[in-house]
Amino acid sequence: MKLSIIVPIYNVAPYLRKCVDSLLVQDIEDYEIILVDDGSTDGSGEIADRICDEVKDYSLKVKGKEHSEADTNAYNLSSITYKLNIKVVHQENAGLSAARNAGIAAATGDYIMFVDSDDYLQANVLGTLLEQVERDNLDVLRFDYQNVRQAEAGEYEVFQPNKFPHQVDTCREVVDGGTYLDERMGYACYAWQFVINRELTGTFTPGIHYEDTEWLPRMMLAAKRVNSTPIVVYNYLVRQGSITQAQGNKDKLRKNVNDFLFVIESLSKQIIKHPSCQWLRRMISSMAAGVLTRVAMSFYDERKEYIRRLQELNVFPLVIADQGKTYARRARIINLLGARVYCWVMKWR
């Protein structure tokens, strides 16, 4: 098996079929789709089972040359061959990381891709990706994406195309993962933006937000051959109610801050193994500024404890890097005035 596509699913009934349909209309044959139902309560798991049965039924008809034009039109599966494998894994709700880990455990492909179940791929793009992976003997290939949204009548429209970070990666040179992080990665950390050698995929830490940021450098720093392609492959649906868009109560905000600290600690441990990796230092500084800002605005009375925890992680002084004007301004203020004064300024701003 050449490629495994892992789709974690949780309460995405209105979006799931479009996502899976986009995985079916691809220009390769030797791949599998693993749908991981993470204890959905809105019928998403049943939809996944139904889609799986439809695909298998259609595949058998293709194999026996018994399919009709009516079958093809009914399922929109005209490009499927009987070699396609699709399966559903059901588990109790344990979160995105655990769902991805279940998919990794079930995968048999040489390479892995992740697709969130409310997003979708461009048609007929996987062949080009795998061709570059094989030609350059890559461990990791990064591709471009675009933001989409639902317009009237449920149609999708692109409103932010070509979403590589502002330092657009047009380089075609194969480099190791550490060099790629430092020179070409930027700060957009999305697990679904890569084709990855399964041996390097590792696992995601369950139960935290920002799991992609914690996982990404572990995966990249183990890679020997990494490259990019400017091809737009992925459509990221910006919607209310998704994990990244949800606005939480104070308990959720507190978990958000504590998860920031967890990721900072994890990245700090990785620096011990890779002291020359400047991306790790820049990301730690960016997240530390985020902790102080959130604490000042939501947990000001607890600022001393959070500042103490950051000091124990040796994050100060913050690294001033090209992460946008807002971050650079905050980092300079924190370095100049100190964390406590910064929190006071943000509190009364």
pLDDT recorded at residue 84: 65
Task: Specify the range with the lowest mean pLDDT, choosing from 192-206, 213-227, 229-243.
Answer: 229-243
What is the pLDDT confidence band of residue 246, given thresholds at 50, 70 and 90? very low
- What are the DSSP calls for 240-302, one per residue? TTSTTTPPP-HHHHHHHHHHHHHHHHHHHHHHHH-TT-HHHHHHHHHHHHHHHHHHHHH-GGG
Could you tell me which residue, 280 or 163, shows the higher pLDDT?
Answer: 280
Please check whether residue 113 is in contact with residue 192, taking contact to mean a CB–CB distance below 8 angstroms.
yes
Whether residue 165 is predicted with pLDDT greater than 60 in this model: the reply is: no
pLDDT recorded at residue 29: 87
DSSP SS3 for 142: strand
Q: What does the alpha-carbon distance between residue 320 and residue 172 come to, in Å, rounded to a whole number?
A: 28
Could you tell me which residue, 100 or 183, shows the higher pLDDT?
Answer: 100
Burial of 264 (0-12, 13-18, 19+ CB in 10 A): buried
pLDDT in tens, 2-19: 999 999 999 999 999 999
Q: What is the mean pLDDT of residues 128-151?
A: 95
164: which strand partners? none
Domains and CATH numbers, the chain: 3-237 (3.90.550.10), 250-348 (no CATH)
Pairing of strands 85-91, 111-114: unpaired
232: which strand partners? 144
Whether residue 76 is predicted with pLDDT greater than 60 in this model: the reply is: no
- pLDDT, mean over the chain: 89
Please check whether residue 296 is in contact with residue 349, taking contact to mean a CB–CB distance below 8 angstroms.
no
Could you tell me which residue, 259 or 80, shows the higher pLDDT?
Answer: 259
Q: What is the mean pLDDT of residues 106-134?
A: 97
pLDDT recorded at residue 71: 46
Task: Specify the range with the lowest mean pLDDT, choosing from 12-21, 105-114, 129-138, 162-171.
Answer: 162-171
Buried b (16+ CB within 10 A) or exposed e, 67-95: beeebbeebebeebeeebbbebbeeeeeb
Total-model pTM = 0.90
What is the pLDDT confidence band of residue 125, given thresholds at 50, 70 and 90? very high
pLDDT recorded at residue 328: 87
86 CA to centre of own chain? 21
Could you tell me which residue, 165 or 225, shows the higher pLDDT?
Answer: 225
Whether residue 79 is predicted with pLDDT greater than 70 in this model: the reply is: no
What is the pLDDT confidence band of residue 163, given thresholds at 50, 70 and 90? confident
Q: What does the alpha-carbon distance between residue 241 and residue 228 come to, in Å, rounded to a whole number?
A: 31
Rg (CA), the chain: 22
Please check whether residue 24 is in contact with residue 77, taking contact to mean a CB–CB distance below 8 angstroms.
yes
Structure tokens at 211: 């799991």
Q: What does the alpha-carbon distance between residue 294 and residue 260 come to, in Å, rounded to a whole number?
A: 10
pLDDT in tens, 32-52: 999 999 999 999 999 999 999
Task: Specify the range with the lowest mean pLDDT, choosing from 31-35, 109-113, 140-144, 149-153.
Answer: 149-153
DSSP SS3 for 226: strand
Q: How many CB atoms lie within 10 A of CB 52?
A: 16
Task: Give CA angle at 229 (97, 320), nearest 5°.
Answer: 70
Cis peptide before 317 (omega within 30 of 0): yes
Q: What does the alpha-carbon distance between residue 337 and residue 349 come to, in Å, rounded to a whole number?
A: 15
Amino acid occupying residue 267? L
What is the pLDDT confidence band of residue 248, given thresholds at 50, 70 and 90? low
pLDDT recorded at residue 70: 47
Q: What is the mean pLDDT of residues 154-170?
A: 74
Q: What does the alpha-carbon distance between residue 118 and residue 120 come to, in Å, rounded to a whole number?
A: 7
pLDDT recorded at residue 245: 46
Q: What is the mean pLDDT of residues 164-189?
A: 81
- What are the DSSP calls for 70-106, one per residue? HHHHHHT-TT--TT-EEEEEEE----HHHHHHHHHHH
Question: Which run of H or E residues covers position 9?
Answer: strand 3-9
pLDDT in tens, 292-312: 999 999 999 999 999 999 999
What is the pLDDT confidence band of residue 151, given thresholds at 50, 70 and 90? confident
